[in-house]
């Protein structure tokens, strides 16, 4: 890690270092993650916010190349899954990370409680329908993981059913990855106290009341069970083709910076070049000049 | 119109004045619109770009209220239709106007040449499927108007068929408006010379080649027919519930500022308030405090 600098507004950050620091998998211990920590970054809030615009510009540029390549036959796409407890900052990631890129390049799907029609199908049915097309970054605000999170905690299906879902999810994600999809799964990890503070803020502010639901407190009362369910999902479904990243999220500015860097690290790995013209450029210039 | 000011970075703009200046309808004469003009705005590029962030913040705030109201049962939504010739700046509107707002509040649908499945249905079938849900701003990048633009110019269906579509579109839009949809239709109007320059730039820059298609020059050769088709669409389908706005677009900065202002004028008219809490706030605070 870099030494603390007095010039924090130019505090550097390594996308690879963030990605390596936050990747989680087999044997993962959620209780060992401090939600207020800032792994692989020594800067403060101002430094993080100063870094974001240039990183967003780079991500936007790489996303446009990804899209351009799809016009020349590439099937590559990205699936970014965002999970977290209520108030963990999913909306902020949508607004400040996804929203910092060209909106034409990404598609956000917010998964709510399933509808009757969705419940009449396999739990992956609605997920498959929302997978991104070639050239796009698909972003899931909640996802199929709800089917081993709230469903497990609330016992919405028998244990033998949700137990089987971890393997089904791994098979599904392997299939998605085989279809040229780069899968990135993010858990925004906040502390119970931070959630309490954020819920209280929603209750204190009339412009935030619409975001509050009395049921949020019911869910909060199952905090330990949710943490166990998250830990199990990370342990059992972090695979080489679809790794989990657990992002400390008590500091919103760190979570946004971290998710942007994890996304960037994956985009850079794709070595995205502008596609070659599939026509004779000089010939078309002459045609155009004659109009 | 305001007098030219030396303090152009604070050049004011009236959303209502922009909307009034650009609304077009019966008897509309497209040839009378100067694509390089900047109606209802006396500032320059720097002034326009300086205005945009605050306007985008206001639009974002109003959009969030629109969404919040949908959680309390409001069915109101907005449909923003963007049409224009190739290179008219549709992508720039998506990036700089739509992209300046929270991505969770809007949904962009880009209509390409219809698929076989789409062609097997009525031309409005794919349009209906993409209509925004309550609380959202749906943005159409091209739209059902292609069915009286390229379809008319290229004779893709017999004249009696496309002639009937103007009335069908008006009926359809009336139905959409009756479903609590605020409809805003934008034509980005560039000059033929400006298109030539922008297409040449795409040919000059290897990072823009992917945006160019030799067919673009074929379409360009039908310029006058396209202008006639646009004029007819504006004349025949600008209705009180679904007006057309013709935006001079040779100056990209003006087109972006104008579209943002037209959108804002409509959002302001909705008088969007934060919804009342549908629970007892103090009771919930006590419940939360006890956790």
DSSP state letters, A251-289: SHHHHHHHHHHHHHHHHHHT---PPPPSS-HHHHHHHHH
- What's residue A220's pLDDT? 97
Asked if residue A75 lies in contact with residue A180, where contact means CB atoms within 8 angstroms, the answer is yes
> Distance from B52 to chain A by nearest Cα, in Å?
16
pLDDT tops 60 at residue A8? no
Q: What is the mean pLDDT of residues B125-144?
A: 98
pLDDT band at B95 (very low <50, low <70, confident <90, very high): very high
B95, B103, B288: residue with CB nearest A94: B103
Interface test with chain B among A90, A209, A279, by most B beta carbons within 10 Å: A209
pLDDT tops 80 at residue B77? yes
Q: Do A209 and B94 touch (CB under 8 A)?
A: no
User: What is the rounded CA–CA span in Å between residue A171 and residue A123?
Assistant: 14
- What's residue B98's pLDDT? 96
B91, B104, B288: residue with CB nearest A95: B104
User: What is the rounded CA–CA span in Å between residue A157 and residue A251?
Assistant: 35
Q: Interior CA angle at B123 toward B121 and B129, to 5°?
A: 80
Report the SS3 class of residue B134: coil
Buried-state track A133-152, b at ≥16 Cβ within 10 A, e below 16: ebbbbbbbbbbbbbbbbbbb
The per-residue pLDDT for range B203-222, each reduced to its tens digit, is 999 999 999 999 999 999 99
A71, A95, A284: residue with CB nearest B103: A95
pLDDT tops 60 at residue B9? no
User: What is the rounded CA–CA span in Å between residue A86 and residue A194?
Assistant: 11
- What's residue A227's pLDDT? 98
pLDDT tops 60 at residue A272? yes
Question: In chain A, pLDDT over 70 holds for what percent of residues?
Answer: 96
Q: What is the mean pLDDT of residues B60-83?
A: 96
> Distance from A76 to chain B by nearest Cα, in Å?
16
Domain count, chain A: 1
> Distance from B104 to chain A by nearest Cα, in Å?
7
Is A182 a member of any domain? yes
- For A61, the closest chain B residue by CA position comes to B207
CA nearest neighbour of B43 among B55, B31, B59: B55
- What's residue B143's pLDDT? 98
Q: Which helix (H) or strand (E) element contains residue A45?
A: helix A45-71
Q: Do B217 and A288 touch (CB under 8 A)?
A: yes
pLDDT tops 60 at residue B5? no
Q: From chain A, which residues contact B within 8 Å (Cβ)?
A: 68, 71-72, 91, 94-95, 98-99, 102-104, 106, 108, 110, 141, 196, 199-200, 203, 206-207, 209-214, 217, 220-221, 274-277, 279, 281, 284-285, 287-289, 291
Q: From chain B, which residues contact A within 8 Å (Cβ)?
A: 68, 71-72, 91, 94-95, 98-99, 102-104, 106, 108, 110, 141, 196, 199-200, 203, 206-207, 209-214, 217, 220-221, 274-277, 279, 281, 284-285, 287-289, 291
Point out the least confidently predicted range of A173-177, B25-29, B150-154. B25-29
A103, A108, A200: residue with CB nearest B288: A200
Is B34 a member of any domain? no
- What's residue A2's pLDDT? 43
- The CATH code of the domain that includes A161 is 3.40.50.300
Q: Do B284 and A203 touch (CB under 8 A)?
A: yes
Q: For residues B86 and B9, which has the higher predicted lDDT (pLDDT)?
A: B86
pLDDT tops 70 at residue B144? yes
Is B111 a member of any domain? yes
pLDDT tops 90 at residue A7? no
A103, A206, A275: residue with CB nearest B94: A103
User: What is the rounded CA–CA span in Å between residue B171 and residue B116?
Assistant: 25
The per-residue pLDDT for range A221-265, each reduced to its tens digit, is 999 999 999 999 999 999 999 999 999 999 999 999 999 999 999
pLDDT tops 50 at residue A129? yes
- What's residue A11's pLDDT? 61
Q: Do B291 and A99 touch (CB under 8 A)?
A: no
Q: What is the ipTM of this complex?
A: 0.91
Is A283 a member of any domain? no
Q: Do A288 and B196 touch (CB under 8 A)?
A: yes
User: What is the rounded CA–CA span in Å between residue A31 and residue A39?
Assistant: 15
- What's residue A4's pLDDT? 43
Is B4 a member of any domain? no
- For A66, the closest chain B residue by CA position comes to B210
The per-residue pLDDT for range A18-49, each reduced to its tens digit, is 999 999 988 999 999 999 999 999 999 999 99
User: What is the rounded CA–CA span in Å between residue B81 and residue B142?
Assistant: 7
User: What is the rounded CA–CA span in Å between residue A224 and residue A256?
Assistant: 25
Is B1 a member of any domain? no
- What's residue B10's pLDDT? 56
pLDDT tops 90 at residue A6? no
Q: What order do you get walking across the sheet with B181-189 strand by strand? A: B23-24, B244-248, B181-189, B77-84, B137-141, B106-110
pLDDT band at B11 (very low <50, low <70, confident <90, very high): low
Q: What is the mean pLDDT of residues A162-174?
A: 98
Q: Do A279 and B214 touch (CB under 8 A)?
A: yes
* CA dist list (Å): A209 to A205, A206, B280: 7, 5, 10
Structural domain that includes position B84: 16-22+45-272
The per-residue pLDDT for range B251-273, each reduced to its tens digit, is 999 999 999 999 999 999 999 99
> Distance from B267 to chain A by nearest Cα, in Å?
17
> Distance from B175 to chain A by nearest Cα, in Å?
26
User: What is the rounded CA–CA span in Å between residue B92 and residue B96?
Assistant: 6
B199, B207, B274: residue with CB nearest A207: B274
- What's residue A26's pLDDT? 85
User: What is the rounded CA–CA span in Å between residue B231 and residue B189?
Assistant: 11
Contacts of A72 in chain B (CB under 8 A): 210
User: What are the tokens at B227?
Assistant: 């202008």
Contacts of B281 in chain A (CB under 8 A): 203, 209
User: What are the tokens at B156?
Assistant: 């893709």
Q: Do B72 and A210 touch (CB under 8 A)?
A: yes
Is B290 a member of any domain? no
Q: Do A288 and B106 touch (CB under 8 A)?
A: no
- What's residue A9's pLDDT? 47
The per-residue pLDDT for range B145-175, each reduced to its tens digit, is 999 999 999 999 999 999 999 999 999 999 9
The per-residue pLDDT for range A50-63, each reduced to its tens digit, is 999 999 999 999 99
Question: In chain A, pLDDT over 90 holds for what percent of residues?
Answer: 95
Within A45-180, strands assigned E span 77-84, 106-110, 137-141
pLDDT band at A10 (very low <50, low <70, confident <90, very high): low
Interface test with chain B among A196, A284, A285, A290, by most B beta carbons within 10 Å: A284
- B24, β-bridge pairs: B244
Is A280 a member of any domain? no
Mean pLDDT of chain B: 95
- What's residue B29's pLDDT? 97
- What's residue B25's pLDDT? 84
- For A92, the closest chain B residue by CA position comes to B102
User: What are the tokens at B144?
Assistant: 């059902």
Q: Do A209 and B291 touch (CB under 8 A)?
A: no
> Distance from B64 to chain A by nearest Cα, in Å?
10
Alpha helices (H) in chain B, listed in sequence order: 15-22, 45-71, 90-96, 116-119, 125-129, 150-153, 159-178, 192-204, 214-220, 223-237, 252-269, 281-289
- What's residue B68's pLDDT? 95
User: What is the rounded CA–CA span in Å between residue B117 and residue B111?
Assistant: 14
User: How many residue contacts between A and B have a Cβ separation below 8 Å?
Assistant: 110
pLDDT band at B12 (very low <50, low <70, confident <90, very high): confident
């Amino acid at each position: 890690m870099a030494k603390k600098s007095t010039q924090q507004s130019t505090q550097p950050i390594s996308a690879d270092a963030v990605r390596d620091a936050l990747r989680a998998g087999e044997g993962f211990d959620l209780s060992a993650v401090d939600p207020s920590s800032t792994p692989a970054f020594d800067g403060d809030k101002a430094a993080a916010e100063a870094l974001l615009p240039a990183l967003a510009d780079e991500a936007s540029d790489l996303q446009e190349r990804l899209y351009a390549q799809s016009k020349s036959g590439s099937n590559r796409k990205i699936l970014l899954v965002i999970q977290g407890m209520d108030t963990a900052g999913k909306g902020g990631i949508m607004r400040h990370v996804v929203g910092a890129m060209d909106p034409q390049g990404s598609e956000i799907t917010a998964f709510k409680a399933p509808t009757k029609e969705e419940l009449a199908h396999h739990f992956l049915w609605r997920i498959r329908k929302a997978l991104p097309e070639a050239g796009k970054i698909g972003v899931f605000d909640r996802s199929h993981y709800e089917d081993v999170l709230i469903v497990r905690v609330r016992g919405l299906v028998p244990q033998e059913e949700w137990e089987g879902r971890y393997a089904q999810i791994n098979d599904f994600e392997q299939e998605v990855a085989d279809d040229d999809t780069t899968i990135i799964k993010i858990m925004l990890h906040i502390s119970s106290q931070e959630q309490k503070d954020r819920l209280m803020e929603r209750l204190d502010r009339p412009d935030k009341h619409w975001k509050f639901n009395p049921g949020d407190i019911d869910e909060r009362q199952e905090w330990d069970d949710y943490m166990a369910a998250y830990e199990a999902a990370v342990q059992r479904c972090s695979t080489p083709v679809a790794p989990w990243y657990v992002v400390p999220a008590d500091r919103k500015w760190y979570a946004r910076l971290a998710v942007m860097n994890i996304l960037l690290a994956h985009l850079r790995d794709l070595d995205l070049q502008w596609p070659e013209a599939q026509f004779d450029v000089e010939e078309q210039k002459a045609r155009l000049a004659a109009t």
